[in-house]
Amino acid sequence: MNLTANIAGLNFNHILLNAAGVMCQTSEELDRVLASEYTGSVVTKSSTPSLRPGNVSPRYYELSNGLGTINSMGLPNEGFDYYMDYVTKQQTDKPIFFSVAGLSKQDNLDMLHQLEQSDFDGLIELNLSCPNVPGKPQTAYDFETTHEILTEVFSFFTKPLGVKLPPYFDIVHFDQIAKILNQFPLAFVNAINSIGNGLVIDEATDTVVIKPKGGFGGVGGPLVKATALANVRALRQRLNPNIKMIGTGGVTTGRDVYEHILCGADLVEVGSQLAIEGVGVFERLENELITILTEKGYSSLDEVRGQLKIIE
Ligand code: SIN
3-state secondary structure 165-225: ECCCCCHHHHHHHHHHHCCCCCCEEEECCCEEEEECEECCCCEECCCHHHHEEEEECHHHH
Band of pLDDT at residue 17, cut at 50, 70 and 90: very high
Residue 69 domain-assigned (yes or no): no
Closest C-alpha residue for ligand 1 atom 8 = 130
Distance 129 CA to ligand 1 centre (A): 8
Residue 20 domain-assigned (yes or no): yes
Residue 205 domain-assigned (yes or no): no
Residue 200 domain-assigned (yes or no): no
**pLDDT at position 67, please?**
96
Distance 165 CA to ligand 1 centre (A): 12
Q: What is the mean pLDDT of the segment spanning 266-279?
A: 98
The C-alpha angle 13, 19, 107, rounded to 5 degrees, equals 115
Q: Determine whether the shortest distance from the Cβ of 193 to ligand 1 is under 6 A.
A: yes
**pLDDT at position 95, please?**
98
Residue 129 domain-assigned (yes or no): yes
Contact by Cβ (8 Å): 289, 256: no
Average pLDDT, the chain: 98
- CA–CA separation, 190 and 257 (whole Å): 14
Residue 60 domain-assigned (yes or no): no
Distance 127 CA to ligand 1 centre (A): 9
Domain ranges, residue 281: 5-54+74-194+221-303
- pTM for this predicted structure: 0.98
Distance 20 CA to ligand 1 centre (A): 8
Residue 15 domain-assigned (yes or no): yes
Q: Determine whether the shortest distance from the Cβ of 138 to ligand 1 is under 6 A.
A: no
Ligand 1 atom, smallest distance to 76 CA: 2
Give how many domains the chain has, as a whole number: 1
**pLDDT at position 190, please?**
99
**pLDDT at position 227, please?**
99
- CA–CA separation, 274 and 71 (whole Å): 14
Contact by Cβ (8 Å): 219, 68: yes
Residue 225 domain-assigned (yes or no): yes
- CA–CA separation, 43 and 87 (whole Å): 10
DSSP assignment of 241-252 equals: TTSEEEEES---
pLDDT more than 70, % of the chain: 100
Whether 263 is a known active-site residue: answer no
The Cβ of residue 141 has, within 10 Å, a number of other Cβ atoms equal to 18
Q: What is the mean pLDDT of the segment spanning 207-236?
A: 98
Short-list 166, 120, 159, 124, CA closest to 143: 166
Short-list 194, 308, 190, CA closest to 245: 190
User: Any alpha helices (H) in the chain, and if so which ranges?
Assistant: 27-35, 80-89, 105-117, 143-153, 171-181, 225-238, 254-262, 272-277, 281-295
Q: What is the mean pLDDT of the segment spanning 98-123?
A: 98
**pLDDT at position 216, please?**
98
Band of pLDDT at residue 109, cut at 50, 70 and 90: very high
Q: What is the mean pLDDT of the segment spanning 275-286?
A: 98
Ligand 1 pocket, mutate which of 18, 132, 165 (most atoms under 8 A from CB): 132
Ligand 1 atom, smallest distance to 132 CA: 3
CA dihedral angle for residue 276, residue 277, residue 282, residue 284, rounded to 10 degrees: -130
Specify the amino acid at residue 6: N
Q: What is the mean pLDDT of the segment spanning 66-95?
A: 97
Q: Strand pairing of 244-248 and 216-220?
A: unpaired
- CA–CA separation, 32 and 187 (whole Å): 26
Q: What is the mean pLDDT of the segment spanning 170-199?
A: 98
Determine which one of 129, 194, 263, 272 is catalytic.
Answer: 129
CA dihedral angle for residue 33, residue 285, residue 264, residue 125, rounded to 10 degrees: -10
CATH number of the domain enclosing 81: 3.20.20.70
Whether 104 is a known active-site residue: answer no
